[in-house]
A and B are shown apart, each in its own frame.
Chain A
Amino acid sequence: MSAVAAPTTLFDVRGLKVHFPVRGTRGRIAVRALDGVDLEWNRGEVLGIVGESGCGKSTLGRTLMGLQPPTEGEVRFEGSLLRRSEMRRLRRRIQMVFQDPYQSLNPRMSVGALVQEPLQIHKVGKRGHDRVERALAALEGAGLRPPERFWDRYPHELSGGQRQRVVIAAALVLEPEGLVCDEPVSALDVSIRAQVIHLLMDLRRERDLGLIFITHDVGLAWALCDRVAVMYLGRIIEQGTTEQVLADPRHPYTQALLSVVPSPIPRSDGERRTILEGELPDASRIPSGCRFHPRCPMAFDRCKTDDPAELTGVGGGHAAACWLVGG
């Protein structure tokens, strides 16, 4: 065991690109799901990755977990490059919570078997009693009480919220340092959503868990995250603390996005909604220059030709990839 304190940066991503070669009508083209992403995630931090569908946020989550090999760029976990040999160490410490609780559980495995599976895979604990205890504790930690009552049940006997708790319990049983959650509550009913979110927040507090929270729900990101990164068409176009990005957005896309998020609090007359025309372009046909320029209400000449590949700082760690920002 090293005497040096554990590094505070869990994930360090530089220039990450994930391109999927696809046979198009005009020969081979690439779907550029991720097109140059730089990101840092620190221990104990709740990082929100926000964007619409097609922006690449799910691909980013899967690449961080090693489920998708990068085409270019590097992903470092605790300072070391993610290679196959590193995968096991990564998966022991970082777990993933998937979106659809109805699909994430093997229908032929009982809850008890599901929650013990990670222990068996990583050979943690002794067979039998020890592992059962750990699994029961994890079920309890995920809010399934009493855990014994759920032990023999099968996924189809559980509600959506309960299934998601089983997924979380299976993630907790290895006592990870962080969870990568890809839309963990989108498929759940509204009142159940709140339960699962509260569970995640409690766990974060009690166990000092870091969270990467991938979502399209800006309201949830506002309430839960410490830092937020907004993605558009494979790039992070703005990042900073939650207050910075969501209350004082600098990138036109973020501004438009926030202006159209519906809210129960009636809008004041002065606030206008910037509803963007059209829809997200195909990731295989990314516009030239700034990828947002065709839809950007503030685009000017430079935007059509120059790609703001770097984020420009606006102070205090807040940065946006836009020619209107900074100089």
Chain B
Amino acid sequence: MSAESPTAERAELPAERGVFGRMAAGTAHSIRLLCGSKSGMFGLFILVFFTLVAIFGPWIAPQDPAASSSYSSQILTAPSSAHLLGTEENGRDVLSLLILGTRISMIVGISAALVSAVIGGIIGISAGFFGGWIDNGLTAVDDWFLVIPFLPLAIVLVSLLGPRAGDLPFGKLSIVILVIGVTGWAGTSRIIRSQVLSVKERMFVERSQALGASTFWVLRKQILPNVLPLIFANTVLIIALSILAESTLSFLGLGDITHPSWGTMLDTANESGAVSAGAWWYFIPPGLCICLLVMGFTLVGYAIEEIINPRLRDRR
């Protein structure tokens, strides 16, 4: 005869927190664990820094590069008290461009990675879970995307689709996001597929089926919770790659001039002869920022992977 209160307490506790609820709790827990990893902490610090810059950009930047007032005749001047990072070929403040470029680089990077994650996740899970001809077909598509060199494909796609971007939010950048996302999912889906395959074989999944669970139930309750953390860790690393990809495409002139990212800055620096003029303040800062941000995401991504892996393994 159990007392009324313990049972009542139990009934108030959600019996299951649901996939996303658990993910949120898991994330909080992961961040706590991250504190144990020095490189992870360093990476996190970088990310937090850049995130703040991105969010508060318009308020921090000394100038608004889009305003015509920013243009001046002091082109390519060295850093001074007025312009901490000097000016570019239109006389605008480089620091402001850099700060506002943070937003673009980060948003494009994260969005593209999300697109990759969603596509890669769905394809990877479907291939691993359903097996058979679905798996064969999806894996073949996956192979195709893995083999095709990213850059030529991206260049072609952006060049073709770019001009039609007109009324999309972020204009041409949306195309860039989509293109990076669509060309970058192949690696993720492979990893996810492997994970699904291994989880599928675990005894607790078979036990669930023996209990009478439907396919969908197994997918939702058994496979997904064991796969989502991996998708999460992988996505963080993909963000790093996406930022690099976006910088590359922008550097090649395929970005959106109206929303300049760091890559765009490198491109215009190049075009305007800043390199030969020795105007280091124009092209070194964006390059550094790209490196730092990519490093930040990579370090955090590795740290998360380390945390996730021991947990996925059964503990005795």
Contacts and interface: CB of A to CB of B under 8 A. Distances in A.
Contacts of B10: 112, 132, 136, 148, 151
B11 interface: yes
A79 to B, nearest CB: 20
- The residue in A121, A131, A133, A155 that gathers the most chain B C-beta atoms within 10 A of its C-beta is A121
A131 B204 contact: no
Contacts of A66: 210
Contacts of A113: 15-16
B217 A103 contact: no
Contacts of B212: 87-88, 91-92, 118, 121-122
A156 B15 contact: no
Given A118-B212, A122-B212, A103 B314 contact: yes
Contacts of A156: 314-316
13 contacts: A91-B212, A95-B210, A105-B204, A106-B205, A106-B222, A107-B311, A107-B312, A113-B15, A117-B208, A121-B208, A136-B10, A148-B6, A156-B316
A3 B11 CA distance: 38
Contact of A121 (B204, B211, B311, B316): B211
Interface in B161-213: 202-213
Interface in A99-129: 100, 102-109, 112-113, 116-118, 121-122, 128-129
Given A95-B211, A106-B208, A121-B211, 7 more contacts: A67-B206, A91-B210, A91-B212, A100-B203, A103-B202, A121-B214, A151-B13
Contacts of B207: 96, 98, 104-105, 167
Contacts of B211: 91, 95, 117-118, 121, 170
Contacts of A108: 22, 225-226
Contacts of A92: 212
Interface residues of B, number: 33
Contacts of B38: none
Contacts of A112: 10, 13, 15
| Interface residue range, chain A | 35 or more
A65 interface: yes
A116 B15 contact: yes
A108 B19 CA distance: 11
Contact of A128 (B6, B15, B210, B311): B15
Given A88-B212, A122-B212, A129 B204 contact: no
Contacts of A128: 11, 15
A90 B190 CA distance: 37
Nearest to B313: A107
B2 interface: yes
A95 B213 CA distance: 12
A272 to B, nearest CB: 40
A67 B226 CA distance: 22
B314 A102 contact: yes
A109 B214 CA distance: 18
Interface in B1-48: 2, 6-7, 9-11, 13, 15-16, 22
Contact of A129 (B7, B213, B312, B316): B7
B213 to A, nearest CB: 5
Contacts of B205: 106
Nearest to A103: B203
Contacts of A129: 7, 11
A13 to B, nearest CB: 18
Contacts of A151: 10, 13
Interface in B269-316: 311-312, 314-316
Given A91-B211, A92-B212, A129-B11, A103 B6 contact: no
Contact of A67 (B6, B209, B225): B209
A106 B206 CA distance: 11
Contacts of A155: 314
Interface in A57-109: 65-67, 87-88, 91-92, 95-96, 98, 100, 102-109
Nearest to B15: A116
- The residue in B9, B16, B212, B217 that gathers the most chain A C-beta atoms within 10 A of its C-beta is B212
A181 B211 CA distance: 13
B221 A107 contact: no
Given A98-B203, A106-B204, A132 B15 contact: yes
Contacts of A107: 204, 226, 311-312, 314-315
Contacts of B222: 106
